[in-house]
Amino acid sequence: MRGTALDSLMRATRDMAAPDIDDRVGRIAADRPVGIDPYGYDPQVARYALACASWVYRYYFRAEVRGTDRVPAGRVMLVSNHSGQLPLDALVIAASMILEAEPPRLVRAMVEKWALTLPYVGELFTRCGQVLGVPENCRDLLERDEAILVFPEGVKGISKTWDQRYRLAEFGLGFMRLALETKTPIVPVAVVGAEEQYVNLHNSSTLARLFGTPVFPLIPQALVPALGWLPAPTKYHVHLGEPMHFQGDPDDEDQEIERKVWVVRTTIQSMLNRGLKDRKSIFF
Amino acid sequence: MLVTGICGRLGQRVARRLHREARVEGIDRRAFPNRPKDIVHHQLDIRRKKTRDVLRSGDFRAIVHLGILHDPRASAEEHHSWNVLAFGKLLQYVEQYDVPKLVVLSSANVYGPRPGNPQFLTEESPLLGGARFHEIRDLVEVDMLAQSFFWRNPKVETVVLRPVHILGTVHNAASNYLRREWVPTLAGFDPMIQVIHEDDVVEAILLALQPGVRGIFNLAGPGTVPLSKILGALGKPTLPVPHFLAKPVLERMWNLRLTSFPAAEIDHIQYVCMVDDRRAREQLRYAPKKSMEETLLSVQRG
């Protein structure tokens, strides 16, 4: 292999790869063809990425995850609220499914197109099994009985301003049509703790246009030298709910689909509300 | 059978496979060195009136159209008149002289490598290859002409083949890129890539010539592999270049005639452009015979 930055990252984290992580990534690979899969998932890279992720998961965010045993085997769609300005919620959910679920599962998050145009970032995402979020990819992966992670709020969700925290934005309808079409159970996921990692005061459309990014949040803590760029070490509470099964015509009118989406959305919202009520502190 | 562009490396291979089983004639303005005795070669420009005479008197069972001009140095007019106008004329003759079969070799490049591409493009995906670079528009137009001909003339069995990067002795951009001493790549980009051996393309053309076969078919090779692994397998030293520099620098070099790669090719080492070839596997019964390793190493013979 050539000497890319990814390789140096792998070398740097080699010592961090604890034996249990090797074992868990190995067990994901057990039912897959050897080597890099057609979507670019590379177990060799993934185990080092997971070694880093598990540190963030265990010690930085001290994630507390309940309900990984509720995720059914075979094709499944995890539908979660999206928050936190950076997609660390995806990292925590994906890490939990490898570190805590039995057997460990690779969850493929649906990535925004823009992220794949970024050098290194796009490459790392792809090598860790994340794929571009277009219906064709979802359908293909579900037909291969994989687990995918969807954020129907999209960019609107992750870039919520402080006043909108834990209030779900509008859901897209595409995920429901795909679930109906492929007869995939939906597992609702609520992530509590990610909203407070960055305080977003305002989304500047001018700066977003200037830098060519989908959004440009104004985050005061980023002004703190060096450390301000890091997310605040809030405690993550992730709750995976009971699988939901929907039936119907995937090509139904929007209204009909919206009704089903509403069921998922209210389920996640009430899971969020409960999680917020049970939480004693943002950091503990 | 009539093969246009017979003197290209791929055309010669097709002709050598076909001439044992059928009468083969070729049209190409280039000469055909070491031509097998039973192949009739008409050394003429496909745009000339004489092409019509060849078709009128030929009574062909099929036409394989490989005569697509890929020379990126040729002017836009030349490109357009050669690829689009000449192909339009050819389609007219096919209709006029009742040729029952037409096989057109298009390319998966017509979809174009883009960050928003699904991992596997089906035959129904839009042809966006020309959206960013006008050099490819001709090829998209040829593909579209063939498609509309397919719908307009149900009497003619039209087959459009869209293979991924063809590797081998051929002198296309992909093979030339892999033949370089040291290979420039884009820092931080390592797309998944499909390649196909030239002999597998020839096989697919033979399958397409079978009576009853019609339609548009993607052709993928033996598998998918990241660009870095391809270069690793060939033992090539790489030179990663920042992507924001690559395009302007390559454009500059192109204008100064320091490189034979137009800037449009950069997208292929940045974003995915892979196809789903299930239709070809099921309906054409196409299956690549060459392994990934053989396919990759085949560029060294060219």
| Contact: B119, A140; criterion CB under 8 Å | yes
B147 compared with A225, residue with greater pLDDT: B147
Q: Could you give the angle at which helices A88-99 and A19-29 cross, rounded to 10 degrees?
A: 90
Query: Please, are residues B207 and B284 in contact by the beta-carbon 8 Å criterion?
Result: yes
Residues of chain B found within 8 Å of residue A126, distances taken between Cβ atoms = 190, 192
**pLDDT tens digits for range B224-237:** 999 999 999 999 99
Average pLDDT, chain B: 92
- Please check whether residue A144 lies inside any domain of the structure: yes
Return the percentage of chain A with pLDDT > 70, whole number: 91
Is the pLDDT at B190 greater than 90, yes or no? yes
Helix (H) or strand (E) holding B225: strand B225-226
Q: What is the mean pLDDT of residues A51-62?
A: 92
Is the pLDDT at A159 greater than 90, yes or no? yes
The separation between the first and the last C-alpha atoms of chain A, rounded to the nearest angstrom, is 43
User: What backbone phi and psi angles, to 5 degrees, belong to A113?
Assistant: -55, -40
Residue for token pair 């760029």: A229
DSSP A56-86: IIIIIS--EEE-GGGSPSSSEEEEE---SSS
| Nearest-CB residue to B118 (from A121, A126, A137) | A137
Q: Give the domain range for residue A202.
A: 2-278
Residues of chain A found within 8 Å of residue B238, distances taken between Cβ atoms = 2
Spatial distance between the Cα atoms of B121 and B274, rounded to a whole number of angstroms: 6
Distances (CA, A) of A94 to A106, A125, A171, A207, B190: 7, 12, 21, 31, 23
Q: What is the mean pLDDT of residues A165-183?
A: 95
| Nearest-CB residue to A38 (from B119, B189, B228) | B119
Is the pLDDT at A241 greater than 50, yes or no? yes
| Residue A204 CA to its chain's centroid (Å) | 24
Q: What is the mean pLDDT of residues A250-261?
A: 94
- Please check whether residue A283 lies inside any domain of the structure: no
Query: Please, are residues B47 and B89 in contact by the beta-carbon 8 Å criterion?
Result: yes
| Contact: B188, A121; criterion CB under 8 Å | yes
Spatial distance between the Cα atoms of B193 and B93, rounded to a whole number of angstroms: 37
Query: Please, are residues B245 and B161 in contact by the beta-carbon 8 Å criterion?
Result: no
Query: Please, are residues B29 and B41 in contact by the beta-carbon 8 Å criterion?
Result: no
Residue A216's pLDDT is: 93
| Nearest-CB residue to B232 (from A2, A122, A134) | A2
Residue B265's pLDDT is: 86
Is the pLDDT at A182 greater than 90, yes or no? yes
Residues of chain B found within 8 Å of residue A140, distances taken between Cβ atoms = 118-120
**pLDDT tens digits for range A109-143:** 999 999 999 999 999 999 999 999 999 999 999 99
Task: Report the 3 state secondary structure along A4-62.
Answer: CHHHHHHHHCHHHCCHHHHHHHHHHHCCCCCCCCCCCCCHHHHHHHHHHHHHHHHHHCC
Q: Distance (Å) from the C-alpha of residue B200 to the closest C-alpha of chain A?
A: 20
Interface of B with A (CB under 8 A): 115-120, 122, 186-190, 192, 223-226, 228-229, 231-232, 238, 240, 242-243, 271, 274
Q: What is the mean pLDDT of residues B27-32?
A: 91
Distances (CA, A) of B50 to B29, B31, B46, B53: 12, 17, 8, 5
CB burial readout A234-246, b (16+ within 10 A) else e? bbbbbbbbebbeb
Joined together, the tokens standing for residue A249 give 């015509």
Residues of chain B found within 8 Å of residue A36, distances taken between Cβ atoms = 192, 224-226, 229
CATH of the domain at A221: 3.40.1130
Distances (CA, A) of A183 to A97, A249, B117, B119, B146: 22, 10, 25, 22, 38
| Nearest-CB residue to B119 (from A4, A5, A131) | A131
Q: What is the mean pLDDT of residues B170-175?
A: 90
A149 compared with B254, residue with greater pLDDT: A149
Spatial distance between the Cα atoms of A240 and A79, rounded to a whole number of angstroms: 9
Own/partner contacts of B75-81, CB < 8 Å, gap of 24 or more, are B76/B134, B79/B135, B79/B138, B80/B138, B81/B47
Residues of chain A found within 8 Å of residue B128, distances taken between Cβ atoms = none
- Least Cα distance to B22 among B38, B5, B6 occurs for B38
Is the pLDDT at B185 greater than 90, yes or no? yes
Q: What is the mean pLDDT of residues B107-121?
A: 94
Spatial distance between the Cα atoms of B167 and B261, rounded to a whole number of angstroms: 16
Q: Quick check: helix, strand or coil at residue A193?
A: coil
- Please check whether residue A274 lies inside any domain of the structure: yes
Is the pLDDT at A227 greater than 90, yes or no? no
- Please check whether residue A259 lies inside any domain of the structure: yes
Return the percentage of chain B with pLDDT > 90, whole number: 75
Residue for token pair 């994906």: A94
| Nearest-CB residue to A119 (from B122, B189, B238) | B189
**pLDDT tens digits for range B220-271:** 999 999 999 999 999 999 999 999 999 899 989 988 988 888 888 899 999 9
| Nearest-CB residue to B232 (from A1, A121, A131) | A1
Query: Please, are residues B246 and B192 in contact by the beta-carbon 8 Å criterion?
Result: no
Residues of chain B found within 8 Å of residue A42, distances taken between Cβ atoms = 226
- Please check whether residue A211 lies inside any domain of the structure: yes
Residues of chain B found within 8 Å of residue A2, distances taken between Cβ atoms = 228, 231-232, 238
Interface of A with B (CB under 8 A): 1-2, 4-5, 36, 38-40, 42, 113-114, 116-123, 126, 131-132, 134-137, 140
- Please check whether residue A284 lies inside any domain of the structure: no
| Contact: A40, B226; criterion CB under 8 Å | yes
Residues of chain B found within 8 Å of residue A114, distances taken between Cβ atoms = 115
Alpha helices in chain A (DSSP H): 5-12, 19-29, 43-55, 88-99, 113-116, 121-127, 135-143, 155-158, 174-182, 205-211, 254-278
Spatial distance between the Cα atoms of A216 and B298, rounded to a whole number of angstroms: 48
Q: What is the mean pLDDT of residues B102-116?
A: 94
Q: For the sheet with B63-65, list strands across it.
A: B40-43, B25-28, B2-4, B63-65, B101-105, B157-163, B215-219
Residue A12's pLDDT is: 60
Is the pLDDT at A8 greater than 90, yes or no? no
Residue A1's pLDDT is: 45
Residue for token pair 């998932």: A41
| Nearest-CB residue to B116 (from A40, A118, A134) | A134
The number of folded domains in chain A is 1
Which amino acid is residue B214, in one-letter code?
A: R
Spatial distance between the Cα atoms of B177 and B185, rounded to a whole number of angstroms: 10
How many Cα atoms within 13 Å fall on the side-chain side of residue A141? 31
- Please check whether residue A215 lies inside any domain of the structure: yes
- Please check whether residue A234 lies inside any domain of the structure: yes
Based on the number of CB atoms within 10 Å of its own CB, is A126 exposed (0-12), middle (13-18) or buried (19 or more)? buried
In degrees, rounded to 5, the angle at the alpha carbon of residue A85 between the alpha carbons of residues A83 and A87 is 70
Is the pLDDT at A193 greater than 90, yes or no? yes
Cβ-Cβ contacts under 8 Å for B297 (sequence gap 6 or more): B233, B234
